[in-house]
Amino acid sequence: MTVASGGVDEKRAAEERLFVASQWQLIWWKFRKHKLAMIGGPVVIVLYLIVLFCEFLSPYSPGQRFGDYVDSQPQAVRLYQPGRGLTAPFVYGLESGRDQQSFRIIYTEDTTRVYPIHLFVQGEPYKFWGLWETRVHLFGTIGEPVFLMGTDRLGRDLFTRILFGSRISLSIGLVGVAMTFVLGMLLGGLSGYLGGMVDTLVQRSIDFLRSIPTIPLWMALAAAVPRDWPPLRIYFGIVVVLSVIGWTGLARVVRGKLLSLREEDFVMAAKLAGATDMRVIVRHLLPSFFSYIIVQLTMAVPYMILGETSLSFLGLGLQPPVVSWGVLLQDTQNIQSLAHYPWRMFPVLFVIVTVLTFNFLGDGLRDAADPYAR
C-alpha cells in the first residue's frame, strides 16, 4: 500500500508540474523564430519612442531658421582629428562660397574651426509633451549649429523636421488603423454572421471600392477636403479618407472567419443561453481569431503611412506649416533642385525603413498566428 500510494503521489506531482502553454505563449515562441520580425519589432518601438520624445531628441525646433546656412549639405560627425588622434565626436564649421558656373551658394568644411558635440545641451525652450517648459536637448554644439542631414531652402534643420514629421506620419497610421478596425470588424462581422441581404450589400460595396484605382480615389476624396480647414481638422479628414478605403481587407478576413465559425457548438450554446447576435459576435466569435486581426492591423499601418505620404507629396494632404514626411518630400518634386540638393531625400529613407519594419513584423505575426504553419 505504501508503494502504491507513493506511485500515485509521484504521478500527481508530475501532473502538477505539467505546463500547458496558452495560445499567446505559443504565438510568442513561434514569433521568436522569425529573425526579420525580431529585428522589425525593436525598430518599430524605437520609431514610436522618437514620436514621444522628438522635442528632446532634436537639437532645434522645426520652424527655427538659420539664414546663413540655406540649403547646406549634411555635416559629417568625426571622431579623428589630424594631430590629435581619436577625440570626442565633433563637426567642422561651414564656410560659404559661390559656384562660378551655377552661381549657387555652396558650403565647404573649415578644418580650422572644430565644434565638439555635447550631450544634454541647453537650447531653444520647448514644452515637453505640452506640460512643462525646458531647454534641454539630447545633443548640440556651442557657438555653431550642427546639421546632421543638412538644411532646406529656408535654412531649417532637416534632421529636426524629420523627427517632428514622424509624429504626424506615424500617428496617422495608428489613428487610421483604429478607424479601419472599427469599420472592418463591424461590417465584416455583420456580413459573415447574418449573411443573406446584409452579406450581399456589404460584399458588393467592398467590390465597388476595391475596383476603383486607389490613387485616383484618394485624390478625389482628399480634394473634397476644404483647404481653409485648420490643420487638425485636415489631419482627421485625411484619416477618414484613408480609412474609407482601408477597411475592406479587414472586413473580408473577418467575414471569412465568421462563416467558418458561426455553426460551431459554442456559438449554438451562446444562442441557447439567450445571447444576442451582437453579443455572440463581439464576446465569442471575434476573440477566437483575434490573433489574425492583429496581423491584419499590423500590415495596414504602412498602407496608411504611404497613403498620407503620397497625398501630402501631391499637395492634396497636409500642408505647411504642418510637418510630416509627405510634406517634407514636396521639396523633391523639382528634379533640378534635387540634383543639387540630394539630402532632401532623407525622409524617403525613414518611410522605407518604417514600411519594411512593419511588413517584417506583420510577416512574423502572421506565421506565428497560423495554427497550421510548421
pLDDT at 118: 94
Which candidate, 311, 305, 315, places its Cα nearest to that of 350?
A: 305
Query: How many angstroms separate the CA atoms of 118 and 105, rounded?
Result: 29
Which residues lie across from 90 on neighbouring strands?
Answer: 78, 116
Instruction: Indicate if the pLDDT at residue 7 is higher than 70.
Output: no
pLDDT in tens, 22-55: 667 777 888 888 899 999 999 999 999 999 999 9
Which candidate, 286, 277, 290, 233, places its Cα nearest to that of 258?
A: 286
Which candidate, 64, 140, 158, 155, places its Cα nearest to that of 107?
A: 155
pLDDT at 230: 86
pLDDT at 115: 94
Rounded alpha-carbon distances, angstroms, from residue 72 to 87, 97, 145, 299, 371: 25, 11, 11, 37, 54
pLDDT in tens, 312-344: 888 878 888 889 999 999 888 888 888 889 999
Q: Model pTM?
A: 0.85
Between 290-313 and 214-223, two packed helices, what is the crossing angle to 10 degrees?
Answer: 70
Query: How many angstroms separate the CA atoms of 302 and 311, rounded?
Result: 14
Query: How many angstroms separate the CA atoms of 53 and 138, rounded?
Result: 10
Element of type H or E holding 207: helix 196-211
Q: Output the average pLDDT for the chain.
A: 85
Q: Which of 6-10, 203-207, 349-353 has the lowest mean pLDDT?
A: 6-10
Query: How many angstroms separate the CA atoms of 374 and 367, rounded?
Result: 9
Instruction: Indicate if the pLDDT at residue 121 is higher than 90.
Output: yes
Q: What is the CA radius of gyration of the chain?
A: 27
Burial class (CB in 10 A: 0-12, 13-18, 19+), 225: middle
Pairing of strands 118-128, 78-81: unpaired
Neighbouring C-alpha atoms within 13 Å toward the C-beta of 203: 14
- How many C-beta neighbours within 10 Å does residue 71 have? 20
pLDDT at 136: 94
Q: What is the DSSP letter of 342?
A: G
pLDDT band at 1 (very low <50, low <70, confident <90, very high): very low
pLDDT at 267: 81
Domains of the chain as residue ranges with CATH: 44-50+160-369 (1.10.3720.10), 65-151 (no CATH)
Burial class (CB in 10 A: 0-12, 13-18, 19+), 262: middle
Instruction: Indicate if the pLDDT at residue 167 is higher than 80.
Output: yes
CA angle 176, 181, 187 (to 5 degrees): 125
Rounded alpha-carbon distances, angstroms, from residue 261 to 24, 66, 131, 256: 20, 62, 48, 9
Query: How many angstroms separate the CA atoms of 223 and 226, rounded?
Result: 8
pLDDT at 371: 55
Query: How many angstroms separate the CA atoms of 197 and 188, rounded?
Result: 13
CB 47 within 8 A of CB 356: no
pLDDT at 223: 78
Which candidate, 141, 110, 124, 116, places its Cα nearest to that of 55?
A: 124
pLDDT in tens, 215-265: 787 778 777 878 788 888 888 888 888 888 888 888 888 888 888 887 788
